Structure 1
Amino acid sequence: MGDQEQREADALRTRELVAEARRLRQVIAAAEADLARTHADAFALAEEQTGRLREASTREREMPLRSMAAEFAVDARTSDRTMQTHLFEAHRTVTQFPTTWAAWHEGRVSRAHVRVVVEAGADLDDEHARVAFEQDVLDYAETTSPNRLRSYAEQVAESVNPRSMQERHDAAVLDRRVWVEDLRDGMSMLGAIGPSVEIHGVYDRITRQGKAIKAADRVARREAAEREIEREAATRGEREAVERYPVRLGASFGLSRDGLADGAGDSGVGDLGGCGSVVAGEVWFDQRTLDQIRTDLLLDMMLTSTPSIDATGGVVEGGLGAIRAHVQVTVPATSLAGTTAGGAELDGTCAVDPETAKILAGNAPGFDRVFLDPIGGAVLAVDRRHATAAQKRYLMARDVRCRFPGCRRPARDCDWDHREDYALGGKTDVDNLGAFCKRHHTLKHAAGWTVVQHPGGRLHFTAPSGLEYTDDPPPRVMFIPDPPPDRGRTGVDDVRAPF
């Protein structure tokens, strides 16, 4: 086969693959649209159930939707809060943007396109304005990517929206919030939604502070270079030093011709110390990137500074500035001893690196020791046993988080629920107690969910629909001590404990 024939064959195969991918995307889009329709029907059913509770309290009227979301969430193995949002968004898409849903079902647009259209048009309360918006945006959506569609959709929504920008901003600012998302390798992301001016102001301030630190570091590097030149000139002669030093100094300190640091601080990780510090007889320079400096500044100010406005009015002793961060960290004794290098976790939600765990443990005023089964890792007991406080420590160690399927709220922020109601004779002991967050504690009692607790903390749930689910305490990973070093290679006769 010649080169031209090979290129034509490759082009034909590529066209076939593209066509197959297009067909599969249409199949996936149709299935996702059908799932959204099912979620919308579930939301509508919950709305009908709520409508039959006209004389009920506000909390009772919330239960049909919350219970419906919980059933779908447990079956899908996801959070019921997330599922409740899915049900609402699906219902809004199907009922308020039917043309968009139809285009999605036909595969003319993707789920990402639909999300952009619905989010941009969510504030259009007028039906005629929404129909005009939807038709205009859909025509463009079929020709471009979701990212390019977003800007256009927002412009169209602005042009047809009868509400002013100020009115919409006043409503949107009520949704300001802060959240945490756990990542891998002992890292987490702090997110915030707030007024654009304040958010950009915060970013601009820490950026300016970061650049000031970088500028100070450049000055320190230049001064260190000048001192080195002076020492070189004093020992070998000024001309020889001036002729030879710039080449060597440029490689060592990253100087450009104007004497400033060229790309200084673009790699490595430093701490919050000053620039040009002398450590162990050597000059230390700030090697952090601007992003790293911004992050360090933000965390430092958030953890140590006092708010300019304190609305507590003396209710909190010392004011808001006296409140300090509080986290619960579980650390294996073997990690503290240095015989293993893992196992520490924060509130049962994410891993903590060993060095941070050791620092936290070293500064902690006390510990709760948790005894685990050496094989299965099940919690056996905690060593403090005075009244309810000991039971709470045991349950926090066993349950770690809310026991409702899919929920990850830390146990320390949960209620201690009696599986068998105390009023009906249920005992207040660890075999009848467990962590339930306020949301799911209320759901359990108000929406007809029943829970039976089995040995070892396993819970058996029965939903109002009759479907059944089980939830076990979080599994534990046992870390085995590292093997002793090779005696023949190290020459060490015995291995001593680090304590």
Structure 2
Amino acid sequence: MENTDDPAPRLASAAEIVGFVLGDLARNDHEVNRRAALRSERILEVIELARRHPDLYTADADPGFAERAAVMDVALRLQLSEDQVRAMQATAEFAMTLLPNVWERARSGFGSPAAVQDVVSRVRVLQAPIDAPDDVRAEARTAIAAVDEAAAEWVLTCPPAMLRRKVRTLVDRLLGDRTVRRHARAMEDRAVTLTEAGDGMSWLSIYGPTADLHAAYHRLSATAKHMQKAERGDRTRDQLRADLAAAWLKGDGTATAVTTKVFVTVPVQLLAGERPPAEQAEIVGVGPIDPLTAAQIFLDAGSFHRVITDPVKGVIVDMDRRTYRPTRAQRDWLILQHGTCSRDGCTRLALDADIDHDLPWADGGTTDIRRLRPLCPRDHRLRHRTRARYRTRPEERTVQVITPTGFRTSAPAPF
């Protein structure tokens, strides 16, 4: 006979289910952090081995180029940029050496790569110069150790913004009146960066002295305000500032106007008001642009080249051994064909690349357009200074890299 007195099994509440899922998410997050720290340690191990055994990567046992080749090897295998690998290397080296407590949090999974990077980036200013006296160096080590001890606790409980604020406040307190030195170090990092934003647009960012950039921004604003009143057009103040900044930097209307060559392909159908079914106007090596912008660029151009179905026509294809340097026509055609550096996965513009002989000139290579390829300066140096092999795929106009450790890159999948 069935016992009806047993209680029915209790269903888990929504709160319990969500709590379980969140707990599992936290555990997975800790594992991700732990593996990220281990990956950085492995990267450092590879680079250190390359430093100790430079003959693995270079014929002349140059430690500097051996390290560069090792960074490229890591980047290719992990599908990262070399700059990303360098950033991971620098962060891990600093943390493992000077922030052992923070790094231990990362190794145990309780500190994310972003948290470690935040602490490292703010603590660097406490370092003493290499040629500083012993007492200054000891003071710097003590200050960094104080941040390491405090940050190792903050990493456990503070969200990112609070962690950054706490570390910054402590570093400022430890610096005291040494802000001049801090500003001098920050000045060394001033730079201009270009970041593509899609839709034919990009960000141009300037990192520099606050006073200079405030002055530049106020000049842009004042001029934009005056223009807005005068033209009574549809452009907003922000749009005017952006247009003015681009025009001033290009030198429009001045004797020093920019003469940098930018390759833009504009199908003739667009100029006639038609939209071709397959072709789009594009900035070579960057990507498509809208028809209106393409037409305006064409109208503003002082000169242009017409490229038809067989664009090699008119380009000297084969040159004898007396000529080492490619002609301008050859270079322009290679830029149009490749757009970017021809090495698998490299997106640096062919416009800024070196033209490399597939078979080196010193080994009997000729300046034949079929044996030439654009390689960015970084790849060009690695090709000639390391044991990495750069093999051209003639049918795909791409270059495969075979690293000294046997890794082979793959051609990018077609669109």
TM-score normalised over the length of structure 1: 0.69
Distance between the aligned counterparts of 2:388 and 2:227, measured in 1? 57
Over 3 Å counting, the alpha-carbon distance change for 1:145 and 1:209 in structure 2 is farther
Q: 1:397 to 1:154 in 2, by over 3 A?
A: same
After TM superposition, list the pairs within 5 Å mapping 1:472-483 onto structure 2: 475=414
CA distance in 2, matches of 1:82, 1:383: 42
Partner amino acid, structure 1, of 2:48: A
Q: What are the superposed Cα offsets for residues 132-182 of structure 1, whole Å, 9 maximum, x if unpaired? A: 111112322322211122122112122234882111222321221111111
- Classify 1:366/1:52 alpha carbon distance in 2 versus 1 (closer, same or farther; 3 Å): closer
Cα offset, 1:72, TM superposition: 1.1
Greater RCO between the two (CA within 8 Å, min separation 6)?
2
Letter in 1 for 2:231: G
Show structure 2 runs of 5+ residues with no match.
1-11, 128-139, 318-326
Counterpart residue number, 1:323: 258
Judge conservation of contact 1:186–1:352 (CA < 8 Å) in 2.
yes
Say whether 1:465 aligns with 2:412. no
| Alignment partner, residue 7 of structure 2 | none
The residue aligned with 2:181 is 167
Secondary structure of the corresponding residue to residue 343 of structure 1: coil
Amino acid at match of 1:302: L
Rounded to whole Å, the distance in 1 between the matches of 2:260 and 2:231 is: 25
Aligned to 1:421: 360
Is 1:302 aligned to residue 253 of structure 2? no
Cross-structure match for 1:114: 116
Between the two proteins, the alignment pairs up a number of residues equal to 380
Contact 2:342–2:373 (8 Å) recurs in 1: yes
Question: CA–CA distance in 1 between the matches of 2:247 and 2:408?
Answer: 47
RMSD: 3.1
Question: For residue 13 of structure 1, what is the aligned residue in structure 2?
Answer: 17
Distance, in Å, in 2 between the alignment partners of 1:432 and 1:85 is 35
SS of 2:13's equivalent in the other structure is helix
Q: 1:72 to 1:436 in 2, by over 3 A?
A: same
CA distance in 2, matches of 1:466, 1:52: 12
- Residue deviations 1:244-282 (CA, integer Å, cap 9, x gap): xxxxxxxxxxxxxxxxxxxxxxxxxxxxx612xxxxxxx
1:91-240 equivalences in 2 (<5 Å): 91-125=93-127, 126-161=140-175, 164-211=178-225, 216=229
Q: Give the equivalent residue in structure 2 for 1:452.
A: 391
SS in 2 for 1:467: coil
Report if aligned partners of 2:65, 2:382 keep a CA contact under 8 Å in 1: yes
Q: Which amino acid aligns with 2:346?
A: C
Aligned mates of 2:252, 2:315 — CA distance in 1 = 38
TM-superposed CA distance for 1:402, in Å, is 1.2
Counterpart residue type for residue 119 of structure 2: V
Secondary structure, counterpart of 1:406 in structure 2: coil
SS in 2 for 1:460: strand
Aligned letter for 1:450? R
Match of 2:305 in 1: 368
State how far apart, in whole Å, the 1-side matches of 2:214 and 2:225 are: 16
Counterpart position of 2:271: 336
Residue matched to 2:231: 274
1: CA distance, partners of 2:88 / 2:346: 16
Q: Which amino acid aligns with 2:87?
A: T
Q: Work out the CA distance in 2 between the residues paired with 1:442 and 1:90.
A: 27
> 1:452/1:14 Cα in 2 relative to 1: closer, same or farther (>3 Å)?
closer
CA shift in 2, pair 1:154/1:305, >3 Å: farther
Give the whole-Å Cα distance in 2 for the aligned partners of 1:88 and 1:37: 11
Match of 2:294 among 357, 367, 379: 357
Change (3 A) 1:199 1:431: same
Q: Which amino acid aligns with 2:280?
A: G
In 1, Cα distance between the equivalents of 2:145 and 2:161? 22
Aligned to 1:34: 38
> Within the alignment, does 1:67 sit opposite 2:69 as a pair?
yes
Aligned-partner residue type, residue 46 of structure 2: A
Alignment partner of 1:382 is 2:328:
no
Q: CA deviation at 1:394?
A: 2.5
CA distance in 2, matches of 1:193, 1:291: 20
Q: Partner of 2:409: helix, strand, or coil?
A: strand
Task: List alignment gaps of at least 5 residues for structure 1.
Answer: 1-7, 217-272, 276-284, 308-317, 373-379, 478-499
Structure 1 residue matching 2:369: 3-state secondary structure: coil
Are 1:395 and 1:434, in contact at CA under 8 Å, matched by a contact in 2? Answer: yes
* Equivalent residue letter for 1:339: R
Correspondence for 1:442 among 374, 381, 384: 381
Equivalent pair of 1:39/1:91 in contact (CA under 8 Å):
no
Deviations 1:288-339 (A, max 9, x none): 2x433332332233233699xxxxxxxxxx5xx3434532112233433423
Partner deviation per Cα, 1:52-75 (whole Å, 9 max, x = no partner): 99xx89xx4420121011111112
Task: Please show how residues 256-267 of structure 1 align to structure 2 within 5 Å.
Answer: none
Amino acid at match of 1:62: G
Answering whether residue 374 of structure 2 is matched by residue 405 of structure 1, we say no
The one-letter amino acid paired with 2:247 is D
Is 1:23 aligned with 2:37?
no
Sort the Cα spacing of 1:468 and 1:51 in 2 relative to 1 into closer, same or farther, 3 A: closer
Distance (whole Å) between structure 2 residues aligned to residue 152 and residue 124 of structure 1: 15
Residues 46 and 95 of structure 1, relative CA distance in 2, 3 Å threshold: farther
The TM-score with structure 2 as length reference comes to 0.81
8 Å contact kept, 2:341–2:349 = yes
Is 1:77 aligned to 2:79, yes or no? Answer: yes
Whether the 8 Å contact between 1:331 and 1:344 is mirrored in structure 2 is yes
Q: Which residue of 2 aligns with 1:222?
A: none
Q: The residue matched to 2:214 in structure 1 has which SS?
A: helix
Contact 1:403 1:471 in 2 (8 A): no
Larger radius of gyration: 1
Q: CA deviation at 1:209?
A: 4.2
SS of the equivalent of 1:340 reads coil
Separation in structure 1 between the aligned mates of residue 315 and residue 252 of structure 2, nearest angstrom: 38
Query: Cα distance, 1:440 vs. partner?
Result: 1.2
Distance 1:383 1:183 in 2: 36
Residue 327 of structure 1 aligns to which amino acid in structure 2? V
